[in-house]
Amino acid sequence: MLDAKKIKELINCDIDVFSFDCVCSTNLLAKEHGAKFLGDALFIAEAQTNGRGRLGRTFYSPENSGIYMSLTLTPRLKPEDYTLITTAAAVSVAKAIDCYLNTPTKIKWVNDIFLNGKKVCGILTEGVFEKDYSFAVLGIGINLFEPKNGFPEEISQIAGGIFENGCTESIKTDIIAKIINNFYEYYSVLPQKDFLSEYRAKDMLKGKTVDYVKNGICYTGTAQGITDTLELKVVDSNNTTHFLSSGEVTIGSKKA
């Protein structure tokens, strides 16, 4: 497992750091921690048996392949501002990974990070809302390299790794510390959206034909970019403008 003490030394914020070989889901651990009012904390695992993805999916988290980490973020925000956490995190991760690459990563709205057309990172922010308290958990799953036996068939077309030939523990540690340091810089002034210009610069969808569903109807349109309120602006084939605030967009094959 990664050295929690080393990671704590490298990060600029005073949060607890816990490192494990294998857990069910780091998001689950971060939630349990939040419910005990113990402050912000970082949970890292080398593998997860039940990694959680967006939209009820699982996140493939085998050992020796990725970084799986979650942050408990004690409340500072209104629940409606939780999207800012995800977008700030996407930029934080992309910048950290870019330090090790010649080709820069791209962000696919809202929260997927792509490298050379393959998804290398997914982000899942979950809110916990109880009668007397609420907090957020930010989960980040990074595919550092392709697992020994390849990705499972259902994600083999989309998932990719960052490094071709593995990477050292010290690179893993450094990437984690960079992500946390980048993130807390944005998080400390989150409503200012200091990450927005970099988010836009890394927008993978702008100008592309995309398929999306709005109010149960499927559309094809051209992505126009990210608004100040982090919606994806799309113009459909009838020249109608849509602002998407959540959901999934796929890069389409049809003509808009």
Q: Residue 246: is it exposed, middle or buried by C-beta count within 10 angstroms (0-12/13-18/19+)?
A: exposed
* Chain residue at closest Cβ approach to ligand BTN: 122
192 is written with which tokens?
Answer: 């200012």
Q: Is residue 123 a contact point for ligand BTN (CB under 6 A)?
A: yes
- Shortest Cβ distance from residue 111 to ligand BTN (Å)? 7
DSSP string, 180-217: HHHHHHHHTTGGG-TTHHHHHHTBSSTT-EEEEEETTE
Q: Which is nearer to ligand BTN, 123 or 256 (CB)?
A: 123
162 is written with which tokens?
Answer: 């960052």
Tell the residue number behind the tokens 């971060």, with chain if given.
30
Q: Which is nearer to ligand BTN, 27 or 209 (CB)?
A: 27
Q: Is residue 143 a contact point for ligand BTN (CB under 6 A)?
A: no
From candidates 122, 160, 161, 221, binder to ligand BTN by CB under 6 A: 122
- Give the three-class secondary structure for 154: helix
Task: Report how far residue 45's alpha carbon sits from residue 255's, in angstroms, rounded to the nearest whole number.
Answer: 43
DSSP state of 78: -
Q: Which is nearer to ligand BTN, 49 or 237 (CB)?
A: 49
Q: Which is nearer to ligand BTN, 199 or 256 (CB)?
A: 199
Q: Is residue 124 a contact point for ligand BTN (CB under 6 A)?
A: yes
Total binding residues for ligand BTN by CB under 6 A? 20
Which residues in 38-67 contact ligand BTN (CB under 6 A)?
48, 51-54, 57, 59, 61
226 forms beta bridges with: 232
From candidates 68, 109, 184, 199, binder to ligand BTN by CB under 6 A: 68
Q: Which is nearer to ligand BTN, 118 or 256 (CB)?
A: 118
